[in-house]
Amino acid sequence: MAEKIALQTLIDRSIRNMGAGIHSVVKESAIEMIKQAYKEGIYVQITSGYRSFAEQNKLYAQGRTAPGKIVTNAKGGQSNHNYGLAIDYVLLSADGKKALWTVNEKWRRVAQIGKSLGFSWGGDWKSFKDYPHLEMMGGMTLSQLQAGKRPVLVSLLSNKVSAKPIKTTPVKSSPSKSTSKPKTSTSKKTNNLPAGILKVTKPLTKGSAVKAVQQALASIYFYPDKGAINNGIDGYYGPKTANAVSRFQMMHGLTPDGIYGPKTKAKLESLLNK
């Protein structure tokens, strides 16, 4: 049986591929994403990060004035990579020798983790989906970057850590059952997911049923309002909770209508029971 690739090897390769010009927050967030995925048996490597204008122009020339296939429509200065704010990733086989480019559940799971750390994912784009792409623009447009402005990025690593206990609390509260499967405590949490339909209404629907859905979403990084008090877990089914539900639905092949119903409940439970 092939030996599993070491976490540090993935990190070292990724740091090299991100380049010296990568933003420090983007770099540390990417490394954390690799670590979190590794814990779940998903092997991620960053394939590119910062690219100079000259490197971007060389890439643009490929398939046009240089041999090869066209791989980008962006000239130097027209890519977020040129400002150290973007990375691309790929999944690897367990031994680290084979790149796996299929956009499957594991690929989307990495995107989830990345989004929980503050990245935006190219797979969420409507006009052109760029599945390997993650970026932190800090609210700025490409035009602003080209004009010389730079974003102030804030690391969300502390928020990521504070969100984790939603899944682990049941295990800690039952030390006498340490020999039982981890699935048992998670199942107990998903039993609290309500049946029926939840959606935005006037006045807003509120109560423990809504809070249970919010907690379930947050436990897998779909926060109702990331960075707000308790990440938006407040028991009210408002537009931000509907948005979290919609993002979850979009990531898992459901109709992204923002309405919590039987199909969304079933998918949530299947993920939380893993």
Per domain, the residue ranges of the chain are 7-49+84-160, 164-272
Q: Which two tokens stand for residue 2?
A: 């092939």
19 or 228, which is more confident? 19
57 or 187, which is more confident? 57
Q: Given its phi and psi angles, is residue 230 left (phi above 0), alpha (psi -120 to 50 degrees) or beta?
A: left
**Is CATH 1.10.101.10 the right assignment for the domain spanning 164-272?**
yes
- Note the CATH number of domain 7-49+84-160: 3.30.1380.10
Residue pointed to by tokens 């490929």 = 62
Of 148-157, 179-188, 231-240, which one has max mean pLDDT?
231-240
Mean pLDDT across 196-205: 92
**What percentage of the chain reaches a pLDDT higher than 70?**
87
Q: What is the pLDDT of residues 118-147, one digit of tens each?
A: 999 999 988 778 999 999 998 889 999 999
Q: What is the pLDDT of residues 213-223, one digit of tens each?
A: 999 888 877 88
Mean pLDDT across 76-101: 95
End-to-end CA distance of the chain: 25
In this prediction, residue 39 carries a pLDDT of: 95
Alpha helices in 1-148 (DSSP H): 7-18, 24-39, 53-61, 105-116, 142-146
Alpha helices in 98-232 (DSSP H): 105-116, 142-146, 157-163, 165-172, 182-190, 208-219
Whether 161 has a pLDDT exceeding 60, the answer reads no
Three-state DSSP class for 249? helix
In this prediction, residue 173 carries a pLDDT of: 35
Mean pLDDT across 85-103: 95
- Do 7-49+84-160 and 164-272 agree at the fold level? no
1 or 216, which is more confident? 216
Q: How far, in Å, CA of 236 to CA of 255, rounded?
A: 22
Q: Which among 108, 135, 133, 130 has a CA at the least distance from the CA of 120?
A: 135
Confidence of residue 256 (pLDDT cuts 50, 70, 90): confident
In this prediction, residue 106 carries a pLDDT of: 95
Q: Which two tokens stand for residue 54?
A: 């000259």
Whether 227 has a pLDDT exceeding 80, the answer reads no
114 or 164, which is more confident? 114
Mean pLDDT across 154-161: 61
Mean pLDDT across 232-259: 87
Q: Which two tokens stand for residue 4?
A: 């599993």
Whether 2 has a pLDDT exceeding 80, the answer reads no
For the chain, the average pLDDT equals: 84
Evaluate whether 117 touches 135 at the Cβ level (below 8 Å): no
Beta bridge partners of 134: 87, 121
